[in-house]
Amino acid sequence: MLRQKWPEVHPVPTEGPETAGRIAGECVSQGAGLILVAGGDGTINEALSGVSGTDVPFGILPFGTANVLSNELRMGNHPVRVAQQLVKRCTPVPVSLGRMVGASGARLFVCMAGAGVDASIVRIVSPKVKAALGKFAYWLYAFQQVGRRLPEFRVRTLGREYTASFALISRVRNYGGDIEIAKHANLLEDHFAIVLCEGSNSPRYLKYFSGVLFNTMERMDGLHVLEAASVEIEPLDDAPVDWQVDGEYAGAGAARCEIVEGAIRLLIPPPYLSVMTPATVRLQYESF
């Protein structure tokens, strides 16, 4: 199907974890005119490092445990149907990425970074349970945290300081493909949608979850909904701050997240463009 439009397309398998970026970079250096990544959010995240900063269009074919980016773009999770959309109507659009800079270096992300409780769940979830239950494994481990004390940390952004036990620094609205937490996020704009949750008392998150379900987050005490191009997070009282990037564990400690403008040319279908293009921006995208 893909060869109907791109006759020279051919598969290049990864060689294991943390190899997709190198392989994508090698393809670009050898003159590839398009990079398509077949995998989940983690594989897509790895491939970003090999494509970012170039003019080579970047597309996705959803596989893996979940694919937040494919859901965000309203393409669905069926690889064949997504391939049909890529061939018939998707357009390469400059999209900004997020970059998390911490003690272990820098990591790019296209969907989100999370600090605190969600990253702790990503760290402890059993690979066997994940393989058996898919993304529901994360919900299972999340409910096991009820009743436990959650470490808090300091958040600095927009000239203000907050204390939180969960920080979502997002470029997309949906979270895990199931619910929308950062409803104000937009891949076509150059800032993060930030959601901060206060409190070390884990049952408090049942209230926050109700705010997500009933769209009352912005009126809820202890929950902050912000927009910013950068955010800094550091531990309080030496308590560790876990991080996840696009659903993969990314270490612990102090870190800064910042926007990298126009880092990739992402293949996007018209429905997303028509709804999410900022009203103040008038761009004409060429057919690819």
Q: Are residues 139 and 188 in the same domain?
A: yes
pLDDT score at 283: 42
Q: Are residues 254 and 153 in the same domain?
A: yes
143-198 tens-digit pLDDT: 777 778 899 999 999 999 999 999 999 999 998 767 899 999 999 999 999 999 99
In a domain, 111, yes or no: yes
Q: Are residues 210 and 110 in the same domain?
A: yes
**Is pLDDT at 134 greater than 80 in this prediction?**
no
In a domain, 104, yes or no: yes
**Is pLDDT at 93 greater than 90 in this prediction?**
yes
Q: Are residues 124 and 217 in the same domain?
A: yes
Domain containing 226: what range? 100-260
Residue-by-residue DSSP string for the chain: -GGGT-TT-------STT-HHHHHHHHHHTT-S-EEEEE-HHHHHHHHHHHTTSS-EEEEEE-SS--HHHHHTT--S-HHHHHHHHHHT-EEEEEEEEEEEETTEEEEESSEEEEEHHHHHHHH--HHHHHHHTTHHHHHHHHTTTTSB---EEEEETTEEEEESEEEEESSSEETTTEES-TT--TTSSSEEEEEE--SBTTHHHHHHHHHHTT-GGGSTTEEEEEESEEEEEESTT---EEEETTEEEEES-EEEEEEEEEEEEEE-HHHHHHHS-TT----PPP-
Name the packing angle between helices 20-29 and 41-51 (round to 10°).
40
Q: Are residues 244 and 124 in the same domain?
A: yes
In a domain, 248, yes or no: yes
In a domain, 282, yes or no: no
Q: Are residues 114 and 219 in the same domain?
A: yes
In a domain, 281, yes or no: no
In a domain, 285, yes or no: no
CATH code at 92? 3.40.50.10330
| Burial letters 217-255, b for 16+ CB under 10 A, else e | beebeebbbbebbbbebebeeeeebbbbbbbbbbbbebb
Q: Are residues 83 and 139 in the same domain?
A: no
205-252 tens-digit pLDDT: 888 888 888 888 888 899 999 999 999 999 998 888 999 999 999 999
Q: Are residues 266 and 251 in the same domain?
A: no
Say how far apart CA 194 and CA 234 lie, in whole Å: 16
pTM of the complete model beyond 0.85:
yes
Q: Are residues 271 and 196 in the same domain?
A: no
pLDDT score at 205: 85
Q: Are residues 156 and 238 in the same domain?
A: yes
What is the total count of domains within the chain? 2
Q: Are residues 105 and 57 in the same domain?
A: no
Residue-by-residue DSSP string for 163-232: EESEEEEESSSEETTTEES-TT--TTSSSEEEEEE--SBTTHHHHHHHHHHTT-GGGSTTEEEEEESEEE
CATH code at 130? 2.60.200.40
In a domain, 287, yes or no: no
Q: Are residues 243 and 125 in the same domain?
A: yes
